[in-house]
Amino acid sequence: MKRVLLALAITTTVAACATATSPTGRTQRVGAVSQEQLNQMGVQAFEQAKAKTPQSTNTSQTAYVRCVANAVTRQLPSEWQANWEVALFADNSANAFALPGGKIGVNTGIFTVAKNQDQLAAVIAHEVGHVISRHHDERVTAQAGTQAGVNLLGALIGSRYGTTAGQTTGQIAGIGAQTLILLPNNRTQETEADVVGQQLMAKAGFNPEQAVSLWQNMIEANTARAPEWMSTHPNPENRISELRSRAASLMPAYQQARASGHTPKCG
């Protein structure tokens, strides 16, 4: 009966999913939860972040971050236009994030690598790129399917060889799924967010070439890193090469944006 119920759970999860096309034309598996649920999850996660980490009291830096974020989000497709909430957290790590539900968080540590408004725009546009590319939806759906499969495998082994064997199999299978399924998808999403984010910053009137400078700063600040195949992020040198190549092709869009009045003056 347990095996039947787990198999039914997997079937239900797969049936609830749908195929979508990302902004770069990549086929995605999404739909394990609704967009409304994703937005609620994003809002909840953002509230937790605000409860856990104090927000910066530096009003000029906060205004600076919001100015850049607003310039970027104004260029989003209509379905993603929202009253985006932006928070600057007093945290020394060079990090930022964006969440479904229109939430953007930036750590004060980002200023150590994002030296000007264009480089900060590269960070924020990349994070927003994850949202509009439905990466959170994709990852939740992948996690749901993977976990259901791991649970079923453990139950099948357990029913045959005992509870301990089932638990061990589940743990091993979980590690394999994390390494072989979830992490490669994350690297794909990181590259896609680079593409979408660089396009977005250019449309907003930020120099796409500065995305290259940002990652050069990142490398200087983080000399130790895991091998690419064990990382959720692409190899930095490869990333810079791709960003540099795309920047050249995006310069006309950037120049057109500037000519049409998109000339951010955030700081």
Please give the pLDDT value at position 82: 79
Task: Quote the pLDDT of residue 21.
Answer: 87
Residue 5 vs residue 41, higher pLDDT:
41
pLDDT at 190 > cutoff 60:
yes
Predicted model pTM: 0.79
Average pLDDT over residues 165-190: 51
Q: Residue range 95-122: average pLDDT?
A: 96
| pLDDT at residue number 105 | 97
The DSSP symbol for 234 reads -
The pLDDT-based confidence of 116 (bands split at 50, 70, 90) is: very high
Torsion region of 188: left, alpha or beta (phi above 0 gives left; psi -120 to 50 gives alpha):
alpha
- pLDDT for the residue 17: 64
Is the pLDDT assigned to residue 174 strictly greater than 80? no
Question: What is the per-residue pLDDT across 70-105, written as a single tens digit (0 to 9) for each?
Answer: 999 999 998 898 789 999 999 999 999 999 999 999
How many CB atoms sit inside 10 A of residue 171's CB? 12
User: Quick one: which of 114, 235, 250 has its CA closest to 195?
Assistant: 250
For the chain, strand residue ranges (E) read: 18-21, 27-30, 85-89, 96-99, 103-107
| Of 222 and 107, the one with more pLDDT | 107
- pLDDT confidence tier of residue 6, bands split at 50, 70 and 90: very low
CA distance 266 to 245: 27
Average pLDDT, rounded, for the chain = 80
Contact 156, 196 (CB under 8 A): no
pLDDT at 159 over 70: no
pLDDT confidence bin for 232, thresholds 50/70/90: low
DSSP strand pairing (85-89 vs 103-107): parallel
Separation CA 230–CA 179 (nearest Å): 7
pLDDT above 90: percentage of residues in the chain: 52
Average pLDDT score over residue span 39-68? 95
Q: Quote the pLDDT of residue 141.
A: 82
Q: Which residue has the higher pLDDT, 267 or 175?
A: 267
> 239 has which bridge partners?
none
Q: Indicate if the pLDDT at residue 29 is higher than 50.
A: yes
